[in-house]
Structure 1
Amino acid sequence: MARITFLLIALVQFFSFATSYGATIAKRGPPAGAILVKANSLDASNGEFSKIQDAVESLPNDGSSQVIYIYGGTYKEQVVITRKGPLMIIGETNSDGSNAVTIVHSSSLSQVNTDEETATLRVHTDNFSMYNIDVKNTFGQASENGQALALSTSGNNQGFYACGFYGYQDTILVNGGTQFFAYCYIEGAVDYIFGQHGRSIFYKCVLASIGKGYITAHGPSAGENSIIVIDSSTIKAAVDGLQHQVYLGRPWSEYAK
């Protein structure tokens, strides 16, 4: 327990700095050399793209550090990030209380073969950070095969700051590596933070339930160093009528933590 506490303190101190740094950049505008994304842009010749995925695919496939800056707007697409090398994605914002950039998609397991394929945003790389962006899977509720991810993530040294993640069932999959979520808003109803292999900390986040169910589902194997930590966060009902119908978590395996 002492080791986990020390790790938590160290991560909170470091990532609290990273949170304020990223928010300052988002308000100041795009850093020099950033790849720019602007909804409905018609000119990619100056490094400006209309789709986030196109910007991601334009990056060199090497270990260089890269920045993508996204102007305010709604981006209807699925985004997959697997490139090597540190990557920072920043959403434009003018307010500490709301984000101007939204990535939205609608898909559930009833339409595809795996949970992973439903995700609006998939991040499977190390040294990744994202600031001030909302990510939504708008599929909603289903009687079966309703898994509909906003975010699927695996990789070490990942950070998500002042972001919003919206879904109903299985909003966030943390399934490998290390993730830090700070000052994020996370919405769902059924197992909306779940995973088997990741080590994730949710610090000063808002976890908002929109239906009855369990917030977390954790399913590591025997001896696996996997954990979900919720620290200094707020848990609330986003709709009426949920008294005694929402639970912090359920074991997805006998080794859940």
Structure 2
Amino acid sequence: MELLICLLFFLSLVAGRPSHTTWRLFSARDELQRLTSLVGDAQNSVPDDDRHLSTASGECLGLFRLAEDALRWSVSDGDPKTTPSTGDHLSDLHSWLTAAAGYLIDCKDGLNLAGVHGGGIARRLHRTSSLVTSALREVASLSAARGRRLVQGFPDWVPADHLRLIMGDDLIIKADVVVAQDNTGNYTTLGDALAAAPEKADRYVIYVKKGVYKEYVEVRKPNLTIMGEGMNETIFSGDRNNATGNGTGASATFTVSGPRFITINLAIENTAGPKAGPAVALRSDSDLSVYYRCRISGYQDTLFASSNRQFYRECRIFGTVDYIFGNAAAVFQRCDILSRLPPHGNADTITAQSRELKDQNSGYSFQFCNVSADEDLPAAGVDTFLGRPWRNYSRVVFMQSYLDSSIPPAGWLDWDGRGSTADYGEFENYGPGSSLAGRVNWTGYHILNKPAEAAPFTAHELINGDSWLPSAGVPYTLDLNVTNS
């Protein structure tokens, strides 16, 4: 705690004004605890037939747990085995407060949809949100004044033998436990393996043999690696969806919130189908998380890249409407982004990024990717838009990527007039859908002509990749250099 206070005091002097950030963070934690109790009590009295309110309050409690984690990391140096620090304390703080503010916004939206617009819950939620957004505003100002810095070295939270494991040496031997449906491993389900995993470990590796695992997975513990035998061999499959009474986030087949999560060589799918509405395959709130050579498959709302810093490399992501959405700071490199045939012949939209506040440092970046129609789409003549702004300051950039002919001339789709405040851009894309001649003319859309304009969306800048990706053991590119990709 002393280190954080000293840091904030020093940065406040540099910025020329005093900081009350630490006080706001402690106050926000106190308010959040009271709010959690209030919503928990209210949930117990929800009528059995009010499914919307029951779902909304349940989702809020889950969001409050995530917000509590973010605030806890923010107010203390923390246990290095459970706190996802990169060594750049100000950048970490900015990311965690971005996440915390987003969770509270999501809760408010859910309660509003359920008809909760006032009363004690709404007032306390407003107080908590005000404290968090005030702290976020100050940290964002300090970040802008300082700029980015290079971290010397990088965290040692992935041991050397794990790096060799990822590069392909003796995969099963180096795993801590093996999951196999044929009883040749330590467990037959991933859920059992996760329940037995340590609460704190430098790195704990679970190897999952091939098979279709029909289970709903939740990863809360830190520093876990889950490895499969290939994206078409080890498959986690579910079919929950919004219409079945699960909220959108709760429909996920695979949910990850434990920090520093790594997953390799497996598939996560939601098979609810194109007419089922929102149905999430993967939801990730894991800070400093890596998804390498994974297939993430669904239709509407396939990948909920919800919050914190995430990195996707050589993945295949399938969907229809808003199929990559949320408020994470996420970089996608060398991924196949594949649009499927939507219901009723409507248009597809790849992204629906949900940055609501200018001070949040979230956004999506697609670099060296293949953006194409899946095999069933071209004959239908359906357009695929690169994105639409779910919230006011939605931020997405496609750069150095192949865009096929399913991308229409306009490129992007508006949503309630938010195109003027969104931050959308393109840089050095190629392919039949990359022409900029007919693109939207919103004030929020930018053609990035210079490397300096695209640099903020590299892995180095957007997710502080220089401070943690080198130790993750997977390929990555920090800059715009194609030869390093």
TM-score w.r.t. the length of structure 1 is: 0.83
Q: Structure 1 residues 163-172 or 111-120, which shifts more?
A: 111-120
* Other-structure match for 1:213: 348
The residue correspondences of 1:1-257 to structure 2 (distance < 5 A) are 22=166, 24-25=168-169, 28-32=170-174, 34-41=176-183, 48-83=186-221, 85-93=222-230, 99-142=232-275, 146-196=277-327, 198-211=328-341, 212-222=347-357, 223-238=359-374, 239=376, 240-243=378-381, 245-257=383-395
Would the aligned equivalents of 1:23 and 1:131 in 2 still touch at CA under 8 Å? no
* Other-structure match for 2:116: none
Shift, 1:243, TM fit: 3.8
Would the aligned equivalents of 1:166 and 1:186 in 2 still touch at CA under 8 Å? yes
Shift, 1:34, TM fit: 1.5
- The structure, 1 or 2, with the larger RCO (C-alpha pairs under 8 Å, 6+ apart) is 1
Structure 1 distance, partners of 2:163, 2:355, is 29
Quick one: structure 1 residues 183 and 105, their matched pair in 2 at CA, closer, same or farther if it must change by over 3 Å? Answer: same
Structure 2 distance, partners of 1:220, 1:247, is 19
Structure 1 distance, partners of 2:380, 2:220, is 38
Q: Which amino acid aligns with 1:86?
A: N
Structure 2 distance, partners of 1:207, 1:121, is 19
Quick one: structure 1 residues 243 and 22, their matched pair in 2 at CA, closer, same or farther if it must change by over 3 Å? Answer: farther
- Identity level (%): 28
Q: Which amino acid aligns with 1:36?
A: V
Query: What secondary structure does 2:379 align onto?
Result: coil
Would the aligned equivalents of 2:206 and 2:225 in 1 still touch at CA under 8 Å? yes
Structure 1 distance, partners of 2:187, 2:241, is 28
Quick one: structure 1 residues 173 and 252, their matched pair in 2 at CA, closer, same or farther if it must change by over 3 Å? Answer: same
Query: What secondary structure does 2:166 align onto?
Result: helix
Shift, 1:33, TM fit: 5.0
Would the aligned equivalents of 1:91 and 1:99 in 2 still touch at CA under 8 Å? no
- Structure 1, unpaired ranges of 5+: 11-17
Computing the radius of gyration from Cα coordinates, the structure with the larger value is: 2
Shift, 1:241, TM fit: 2.9
Would the aligned equivalents of 2:240 and 2:246 in 1 still touch at CA under 8 Å? no
Shift, 1:19, TM fit: 9.4
**Divergent runs of 4+, >6 A:** none
Shift, 1:221, TM fit: 1.6
Shift, 1:244, TM fit: 5.5
More helix by share: 2
TM-score w.r.t. the length of structure 2 is: 0.45
Quick one: structure 1 residues 244 and 106, their matched pair in 2 at CA, closer, same or farther if it must change by over 3 Å? Answer: closer
Would the aligned equivalents of 2:165 and 2:174 in 1 still touch at CA under 8 Å? no
Structure 1 distance, partners of 2:175, 2:393, is 46
Query: What secondary structure does 2:244 align onto?
Result: coil
Query: What secondary structure does 1:241 align onto?
Result: helix
Size of the alignment, in residue pairs? Answer: 232
Alignment deviations for residues 5-64 of structure 1 (CA, whole Å, 9 cap, x no partner): x99xx9xxxxxxx99962515xx43133521100142x7xxx611111111111122244
Shift, 1:155, TM fit: 2.1
Structure 1 distance, partners of 2:340, 2:370, is 14
Shift, 1:131, TM fit: 0.4
Alignment deviations for residues 191-223 of structure 1 (CA, whole Å, 9 cap, x no partner): 110002x10000000000002310000111212
Structure 1 distance, partners of 2:289, 2:164, is 16
Quick one: structure 1 residues 80 and 39, their matched pair in 2 at CA, closer, same or farther if it must change by over 3 Å? Answer: same
More strand by share: 1
Q: Which amino acid aligns with 2:326?
A: G
* Other-structure match for 1:15: none
RMSD: 2.5
Query: What secondary structure does 1:221 align onto?
Result: coil
Structure 2 distance, partners of 1:33, 1:244, is 44
